[in-house]
Amino acid sequence: MSPEILSFDTLTFDHPAACRPARLTASLFLPEPCEQPAPCMVILTSSAGVQRHREHFYAQVLNEAGTAALIVDSFAGRGVRRTVADQSLVSAAQMEGDAFAALALLRADRRIDPARIGLMGVSKGGVATLNAAIAVRQRWRNGFPHLFDLHVAICPGATAQHRDATTHGQPMFFMLAGRDDYTPAPLAIEYAERMRSAGNARIKVKVYGSAHHGWESIGPVFDIKDAENWSCCRNVIEDDGRHFIPALGEALSEPDYQAWARLHCVTKGARAGGGTPELKRRATADLLTFLHGSGFAPRWTTPRHGDILVV
């Protein structure tokens, strides 16, 4: 599977952490044979950056199902290898800008169907995936006209939730780990329910009860000792981008919130891994079933008992 390497500039927008320009690269994987124009998924990485067992794995299974995949490297172009120990090195807002810049690039590519471009991401990439679905943020993007046609968030952090949880209404799939102490599933379930209540009936959630964060890694559960853990930093994002902190009873700007959180609620350490071949196979089948039902993954045949559990 040989990718085509693309270069492009990020989309900067009205957010303190997303206003700095950057030149990025991304790897485009096209299915063979490619029925053009093909649907495509933009893949955002976790804090660990591009990984063979995760982002490249998803690109491969998408190609096998007839869908193109674009893996965006949000780190290398900014001189960063990973953000696990310091999430401020590259923000989820910057990754959101990267995703929309990639969307513009793909919409101009005749090999890609402009009406079937989705966004997916794991962990930190999952945060950016959810943010890309929130309606109020389109105003922040300075009139950028295009939207993704569906969203898949795998173990996304959901400690920071928009007060107005209205989305653009596209299909969304939350894939969550029941034993996640890094991006806890209950917070994401709550956010999904709030998005439904705000009008999006096309949201599906599945919790893999025995799974830990980063289940794509086959083998024993391991400790990420240097991980910045934001799971105790509950806050509400106002329409102007400020973070309302219930413990303080006031809203802080993005820089002030980041400083406050590191003093009062950010902890160190998390667990990840523990995946099994069966879990990975089952979760991948659920992903492809969701995509197929939304007009993506044209070669995928839904297996018997492959229904997605709606929570």
Residue 39 lies inside a defined structural domain of this protein: yes
Average pLDDT, the chain: 94
Query: What CATH number does the domain containing 26 carry?
Result: 3.40.50.1820
Please report which confidence band the pLDDT of residue 301 belongs to, taking 50, 70 and 90 as the band edges: confident
pTM of this prediction?
A: 0.95
In sequence order, the 6+-apart residues with CB closer than 8 A to the CB of 233 are: 159, 160, 261, 265, 266
Residue 64 lies inside a defined structural domain of this protein: yes
Are the beta carbons of 308 and 206 closer than 8 angstroms?
A: yes
pLDDT in tens, 236-289: 999 999 999 998 999 999 999 999 999 999 999 999 999 999 999 999 999 999
Please report which confidence band the pLDDT of residue 98 belongs to, taking 50, 70 and 90 as the band edges: very high
Are the beta carbons of 284 and 61 closer than 8 angstroms?
A: yes
Residue 222 lies inside a defined structural domain of this protein: no
Please report which confidence band the pLDDT of residue 304 belongs to, taking 50, 70 and 90 as the band edges: low
Residue 126 lies inside a defined structural domain of this protein: yes
Number of domains in the chain: 1
Residue 283 lies inside a defined structural domain of this protein: yes
pLDDT of residue 311: 39
Residue 104 lies inside a defined structural domain of this protein: yes
pLDDT of residue 308: 45
Residue 173 lies inside a defined structural domain of this protein: yes
Structure tokens at 60: 């491969």
The owner of tokens 């929309």 is: 100
Residue 174 lies inside a defined structural domain of this protein: yes
Residue 131 sits in which domain range?
A: 4-215+275-293
DSSP 78: G
pLDDT in tens, 212-241: 999 999 999 999 999 999 999 999 999 999
Burial 81-96 (b: 16+ CB within 10 A, else e): eebbeebebbbbbbbb
What is the secondary structure of 16-50 as a DSSP string?
TTS-S--EEEEEEE--SS--SSEEEEEEE--TT-S
Q: How far apart are CA 59 and CA 43, in angstroms?
A: 8
